[in-house]
Structure 1
Amino acid sequence: MIIQVVALYWPRIETPDTGVPSADKVAHALIFAAVMATGCLAGIPARWLALGLAAHAVLSELIQHVVLPDRTGDPLDLLADLAGIALGWYVATYVRRHRTTPTS
C-alpha cells in the first residue's frame, strides 16, 4: 500500500521512457492488483476491498487532477486501476483454489 500511495499522490512523477507503450497504465493496474490480491489473501472480504479500492481509484484521480501540481487525472488511469482490481481478485481466487494443503 505504501508504493500505491506514493505512486498516486507524489506531487510529480518522472516517468522513465521504458519503450513499452502504456507502461504507466500497466503500472497502475499492477499496483491495484497487488493490493487487491494481498488483501484478499490476508482475509479481507473481496467485495468490500474491491469497493474500497474502486472508490480510492476515483478519489485518487480527482485529487491528482484538482490538488496536485504537475499531475492530471486521467480516465484511462482509472480504467487501469479498475482492471487491476479485477486482476488482483482473479489472482487471489486462483491462488486460494490451487493452494496445496498438507494432509494429516
Structure 2
Amino acid sequence: MALAVVVVQLLVLYWPVVTVEGPVSWTDKVVHLLVFAVPTNAVGRALGSVRVAVLLFAIHAPVSELVQHFLLPGRSGDVWDAVLDLVGVGLGAAALVVGARLRRW
C-alpha cells in the first residue's frame, strides 16, 4: 500500500507537463496537501516510524518544487505549494500519532 501511494505521489509531482486552463484554483493546493499527507501516513505506518516518514517527506517537499521549477519544462515551482506540502506532512504525521494514541486508549 505504501509503495503504491508513493508511486502515485511521484507521478503527480514529476509528470513532465501539466496543463491547467485558466488560473490555478484552490484545488491545486488541496492536491498538494493530500499528496504529502497520505504518503507520510502510509510510509509511517509501513515503517513503524513517524519520525522517519516526516524526515523523508519534509525533505522531499521543497526538493520537489525545486525540481519542478528548474528541471521540468512546462512545470513551475511554487513556494506556497511547498508550504502546503509541509502542512500535509504534518497532517499525515498527526493522524499517525493520534491513531496510535487512540489504539492504546
TM-score normalised over the length of structure 1? 0.83
**Gaps (5+ residues) in structure 2?**
1-5
SS in 1 for 2:33: helix
Name the structure 1 match of 2:18: 13
Among 40, 48, 69, the residue aligned to 2:44: 40
Stretch of structure 1 that moved more, 23-32 or 42-51: 42-51
Deviation at 1:46, TM superposition (A): 1.6
User: Which residue number in structure 2 is paired with residue 68 of structure 1?
Assistant: 72
Unaligned runs of 5+ in 1: none
* Greater helix proportion: 2
User: How far does residue 44 in structure 1 lie from its aligned partner after superposition?
Assistant: 3.8
Q: Secondary structure at the match of 1:86?
A: helix
Does residue 94 (structure 1) correspond to residue 101 (structure 2)? The answer is no
- TM-superposition CA deviations, 1:2-46 (whole Å, max 9, x none): 1100010001123478xxx41111111111100111122223422
Q: Find the partner of 2:55 among 51, 58, 64.
A: 51
Say whether the 8 Å CA contact 1:7–1:13 is kept in structure 2: no
Matches of 2:10 and 2:75, distance apart in 1: 14
Q: Does the Cα contact within 8 Å between 2:50 and 2:96 map onto a contact in 1?
A: no
Paired-residue identity, %: 37
